[in-house]
């Protein structure tokens, strides 16, 4: 293909695009809402979500509470979802559920609203606000649609999010321990066990609590030592009972003996 032909094709393409953009601008500025709706839906069907939203944003208020309004809210949510703007997509999916609870896409939108927050959930080391919101919305979905085919997937997503929170809480406890703030470390670890009794970190947590209580007791004033040595022994016994084959027992056995010795020598 000659350079001249290529040049003319490129020029023609630019002209077509420029004409189309100019035409869309005229439609948006016109008072023909039906044409705006048809144009927006056509752009949506073609996957031009950003341009489609320009029409949908104008029309949602016009058609609020109508069949077209229902579709526009759903289409808007899908546009933002496809554009990976999950926070706004969640907002519109949730708005759809609130405004059209018996709508064709109500169940799907309730799930996708929660799923968007799941996708927004960051790695464990970062703020987990989106994770808590996602868990709340996923549970709400189960409450609303207990027989939905999505329930099994929702449980899987919730387990994944809870696992992330477990990791974060465990890391917070370890950070306090390494900083020498043993009281805060113990509180964090015990909260982890209360909130997630089946956590995969249980063995490591019981081991860390035992060590933390013993070190805390050693550094405590005399009037508080006995209480914290007793907690050391209690934590050791919990580890021994729940994990009799634990590789940590050999290390904390000496701590347990020392705690007993200090109590006897009172």
Same domain, 47 and 115: yes
Question: For 25-46, what is each residue's pLDDT tens digit?
Answer: 787 877 787 898 999 999 999 9
pTM of the model: 0.78
Higher pLDDT, residue 224 or 72 = 72
Q: How far apart are CA 257 and CA 260, in angstroms?
A: 5
Same domain, 112 and 199: no
What single DSSP character describes residue 1? -
CATH of the domain at 232: 1.20.58
Domain boundary among 167, 194, 210: 167
Question: What range does the domain containing 124 cover?
Answer: 32-167
Query: What pLDDT shows up at residue 2?
Result: 53
The total number of structural domains in the chain stands at 2
Domain boundary among 117, 144, 167: 167
Which residues, 6+ apart, have CB-to-CB distance to 200 below 8 Å? 163, 166
Same domain, 72 and 151: yes
Domain boundary among 167, 198, 233: 167
Question: For 177-219, what is each residue's pLDDT tens digit?
Answer: 999 999 999 999 999 999 999 999 999 999 999 999 999 988 8
In a domain, 27, yes or no: no
Same domain, 203 and 157: no
In a domain, 60, yes or no: yes
Measured at the CA of 117, the angle between CA 145 and CA 80, to 5 degrees, comes to 100
Query: What pLDDT shows up at residue 17?
Result: 39
In a domain, 228, yes or no: yes
Query: What pLDDT shows up at residue 32?
Result: 82
Same domain, 36 and 162: yes
Higher pLDDT, residue 65 or 27 = 65
In a domain, 24, yes or no: no
Higher pLDDT, residue 1 or 195 = 195
Query: What pLDDT shows up at residue 84?
Result: 97
């Amino acid at each position: 293909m000659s350079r001249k032909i290529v040049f003319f094709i490129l020029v023609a393409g630019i002209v077509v695009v420029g004409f189309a953009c100019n035409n869309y601008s005229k439609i948006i500025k016109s008072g023909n809402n039906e044409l705006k709706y048809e144009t927006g839906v056509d752009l949506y069907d073609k996957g031009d979500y950003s341009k489609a939203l320009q029409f949908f944003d104008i029309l949602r208020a016009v058609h609020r509470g109508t069949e077209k309004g229902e579709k526009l809210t759903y289409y808007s949510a899908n546009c933002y979802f496809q554009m990976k703007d999950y926070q706004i997509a969640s907002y519109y999916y949730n708005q759809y559920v609130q405004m059209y609870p018996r709508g064709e896409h109500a169940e799907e939108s309730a799930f996708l609203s929660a799923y968007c927050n799941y996708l927004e959930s960051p790695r464990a080391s970062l703020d987990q606000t989106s994770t808590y919101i996602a868990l709340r919305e996923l549970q709400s979905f189960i409450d609303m649609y207990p027989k939905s085919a999505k329930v099994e997937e929702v449980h899987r997503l919730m387990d994944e999010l809870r696992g992330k929170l477990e990791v974060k809480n465990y890391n917070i406890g370890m950070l306090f321990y390494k900083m020498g703030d043993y009281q805060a470390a113990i509180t964090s670890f015990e909260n982890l066990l209360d909130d997630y009794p089946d956590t995969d970190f249980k063995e490591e947590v019981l081991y860390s609590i035992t060590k933390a209580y013993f070190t805390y007791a050693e550094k405590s004033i005399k009037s508080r030592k006995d209480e914290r040595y007793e907690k050391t022994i209690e934590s050791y016994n919990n580890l021994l009972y729940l994990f009799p084959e634990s590789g940590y027992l050999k290390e904390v056995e000496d701590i347990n003996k020392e705690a007993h010795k200090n109590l006897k020598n009172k």
